Structure 1
């Protein structure tokens, strides 16, 4: 399963709606983006969500349900509509097809049947994401040694991206034992990775976002488990599926991994579009990074997604040169972040990203440039409004 099929469920009847929700939850490849309790006036909302599949219960009010199918077909023709009814009436089926439905689900049904129908109807739909994605959707940030500043890079990278009003970003802490994302942002989360994983199958897209902690910068944050024993309960397969669902909800995910090469880290590396390895120009770090790259080369295509960022460049006199580092790693250096102890110290003391703690510094500008290199802005985002010919006189 490379992607998740996003489903909007519409049914005014509570018993029928509950049964349909259970049916959808029984199919691993389906995720309920939203549940609507009325057919009237919902075509606009469905077009806004732009799901892959819209399952509509017919039995509560067949006339309104058929009208909704016709409205969806007219306003959002790329959305696949699947009517569902306990009445296998040929006249009703014909009316549904004429309104714009492509198949008909007779209730009660089994998850395997729904899975086959959804896969058949939605497999070929291209460009179906409602979220605007420019650049990598998942960036995993890691380091081959402790203390290189990979968490600081992940936090400031995500916070810089979140400042763009057009592109929501979620920062996840995959250092399950000793993560520090919550401390860096001075947040006390209501939910953590472990608590969300226990119930994410029952959350639609709206409830999922409400369950996440949102930093004042606009960045969504999902920290590591509070109790260490909860980290052992996180199943890699559930984590993989959870990331697939998050891809349907967010245009950008930044993952701060651990330095211990845990199972969760390999899930992040496997699914990442870019693996950002943070290094410092000292022998120990470069040697360990070379070993990590050799490990990545054993997995098909993984090393091709690696970009290397030098942190604390210029921090000491005898640091290894960039050319020597590239020769050692057999890979180019993507970006450099200069040594800036005072801004980072201010950031740590305030529990705030550089965008708040030191917005006028050169190092913050470097993070903006790094963000822009990974996620290029569209002309409409970075183009300043043109002034009139006589604006200077007013």
Structure 2
């Protein structure tokens, strides 16, 4: 495993030499090098988009470097920062130590320095892992059988969630066999969730903005076309979710009925699995089979039951459904074929003035309230105190104060 690395500041030739040594040692993967010292907002965006494990910070412009270091410590406490530069005078090193920098890499570089540094950084990260804020609010929508309205529910709940204060929501279409979300919302973007998966290891804000479509404050990644039987590897799912978790408050994923390997992977990453059924014998029978399978996968405790197309004339009552499935009903949506038909025909969400729209809004509020606030930083473990100089190291080389 290579260390995910950002470089901030530095002369072009110095950065190129550092990049060459990264490749030579095989211990670092360079995510991005920026010659500027980013401001607070830009730095936060940079750290969120790339989630580096170490930042190499040039100290040739010491004042700006110290400002960046201070901001990094506030944004991602404990993220290792390695200072590098030509000026290794004692007063410079003292300023860096006071700012919390633990390692200084004098120029010119050599590969042995970087190998030793990588070993120490890996040990440091394993002993004192740092925290990158990421949401755990991934919700998957699983149909008991085709045609029970799961995609309609996933789309409209996602849109209503995106209208909640402080919510940034992403909708993923992982029903690769039908890809109905793009059709329902009349999306023109030709990019798909498959494109995001193929580029999962190098996603950033610029690339992501080209992949997603936006509707009603909601970001959407449709499934695309011709993806039946498409092979998706677990690392692709995990890498894409890592990026999405850092950038969204809530992630919703619409799944197919087929329980593909990637669908199971997504459900294993989920906080809640919404199992959608209608009050009829066939879908309820299949819902029971789904629950048995999810129990065998040790996922039963995450399942929340949604009953769709409910009417007062439904032959099977809600109490009977709960008794049959041994699961409480989380939400009920009324049958409103006319409103759904008009919404799909117009490429819009269900009207919030309709009974169905009001139900979507109420359930979205229920989910948002249950989700609570943004994830907070975990309490820091108590660490033994070290002497001031014990926390700082200068990698051995000939020290130079000027070029």
Q: TM-score range by the shorter chain?
A: 0.7 to 0.9
Deviations 1:180-217 (A, max 9, x none): 1111111022421122222232232x224312333231
SS at match of 2:296: coil
**How many angstroms apart in 2 are the aligned matches of 1:228 and 1:104?**
49
C-alpha deviation, 1:239, in angstroms: 1.2
Summarize the Cα distance change of 1:334–1:74 in structure 2 as closer, same or farther, 3 Å threshold: closer
C-alpha deviation, 1:170, in angstroms: 0.6
Kept in 2: contact 1:168–1:250 (CA 8 A): yes
Summarize the Cα distance change of 1:63–1:155 in structure 2 as closer, same or farther, 3 Å threshold: same
Residue of structure 2 equivalent to 1:361: 354
Summarize the Cα distance change of 1:36–1:365 in structure 2 as closer, same or farther, 3 Å threshold: farther
Greater relative CO, 1 or 2 (CA 8 Å, sep 6+): 2
Residue of structure 2 equivalent to 1:307: 304
Kept in 2: contact 1:175–1:224 (CA 8 A): yes
Residue of structure 2 equivalent to 1:160: 160
Q: Match for 1:329 among 317, 322, 325?
A: 325
C-alpha deviation, 1:271, in angstroms: 0.3
Summarize the Cα distance change of 1:31–1:74 in structure 2 as closer, same or farther, 3 Å threshold: closer
SS at match of 1:78: coil
**How is 1:108-257 mapped onto 2 (pairs within 5 angstroms)?**
108=111, 109=114, 113=119, 116=122, 119-120=125-126, 123-125=129-131, 128-129=132-133, 137-164=137-164, 166-204=166-204, 206-228=205-227, 232-257=230-255
| Equivalences, count | 359
Residue of structure 2 equivalent to 1:345: 341
**How many angstroms apart in 2 are the aligned matches of 1:48 and 1:267?**
28
C-alpha deviation, 1:75, in angstroms: 5.8
Per the normalisation by structure 2, the TM-score is: 0.76
Per the normalisation by structure 1, the TM-score is: 0.78
Residue of structure 2 equivalent to 1:85: 84
Kept in 2: contact 1:280–1:286 (CA 8 A): yes
Kept in 2: contact 1:236–1:264 (CA 8 A): yes
- Is residue 295 of structure 2 the alignment partner of residue 297 of structure 1? yes
SS at match of 1:228: coil
Summarize the Cα distance change of 1:191–1:46 in structure 2 as closer, same or farther, 3 Å threshold: same
**How many angstroms apart in 2 are the aligned matches of 1:14 and 1:177?**
48
Deviations 1:108-131 (A, max 9, x none): 435964871572476154xx42x7
C-alpha deviation, 1:87, in angstroms: 6.7
Residue of structure 2 equivalent to 1:386: none
Deviations 1:20-77 (A, max 9, x none): 59959x889x995x764312x6345335766576613326x25245433554378658
Kept in 1: contact 2:334–2:356 (CA 8 A): yes
**How many angstroms apart in 2 are the aligned matches of 1:341 and 1:140?**
24
Residue of structure 2 equivalent to 1:383: none
**How many angstroms apart in 2 are the aligned matches of 1:233 and 1:142?**
20
**How many angstroms apart in 1 are the aligned matches of 2:342 and 2:9?**
53
Residue of structure 1 equivalent to 2:400: none
Q: Which runs of 5+ in 1 are unaligned?
A: 381-394
**How many angstroms apart in 2 are the aligned matches of 1:21 and 1:343?**
60
**How many angstroms apart in 1 are the aligned matches of 2:73 and 2:241?**
32
C-alpha deviation, 1:99, in angstroms: 2.3
Task: Indicate the structure (1 or 2) with the bigger Cα radius of gyration.
Answer: 2
CA RMSD of aligned residues (A): 3.7
